[in-house]
Amino acid sequence: MQKVTGTSDDSIAQQVIARDPQVAANLRLELAKIAAEREQAAQQAQLDMLKTVVASDQTQADVNKTEAQNANLFVAGWRPFVGWVCGAGLLWQFIAAPILGFSFQRAMPSVDTSTLLLLLQGMLGLGALRTYEKVRGVTQGHG
């Protein structure tokens, strides 16, 4: 405010602004500039973060390609194996266990689907989206 009104005393600055419409206009212009600079900085930070996420995803995609091309079953076959395990666990939890439980009138053992879904999301590359949400504050107060 000192830059526009010429004083650092708030009460004097308010009097100057109230008397002089040009000073008030200059102050509004300065405030608009500050707001625009903040918005631009926020957008730049968001763009930088997205570039980092994309670069990380590209690096992981390159690793995935290299692993998939490997002839060794223990290198190339772990992802399909884990995918089938996740699929089998989800099949049991949401289809087989309810049907069998109803058929035999018994409670069937359940699977910890939160762990399965976390593993499946990681395999499908959704971990970066979760990180993006946390950084943006979309999930504040929810973990």
Helix axis angle for 21-69 and 10-19, nearest 10°, is 110
pLDDT at 130 (0 to 100): 61
Residue 55 token pair: 């670069």
Q: Which of 17-21, 38-42, 129-133 has the lowest mean pLDDT?
A: 129-133
- Give the tens place of pLDDT for each residue, 48-76: 999 998 888 888 888 878 877 878 877 77
Q: Which helix (H) or strand (E) holds 2?
A: helix 2-5
- Give the tens place of pLDDT for each residue, 105-137: 999 999 888 888 888 888 777 656 666 666 777
User: What are the residue ranges spanned by the domains of the chain?
Assistant: 1-71, 77-143
pLDDT band at 3 (very low <50, low <70, confident <90, very high): low
Distance, in Å, from the CA atom of 85 to the CA atom of 83, rounded to the nearest integer, reads 5
Distance, in Å, from the CA atom of 110 to the CA atom of 93, rounded to the nearest integer, reads 6
- Please give the model's pTM, rounded to 2 decimal places: 0.43
pLDDT at 50 (0 to 100): 92
Q: Above 90 in pLDDT, residue 103?
A: yes
pLDDT at 44 (0 to 100): 95
pLDDT band at 99 (very low <50, low <70, confident <90, very high): very high
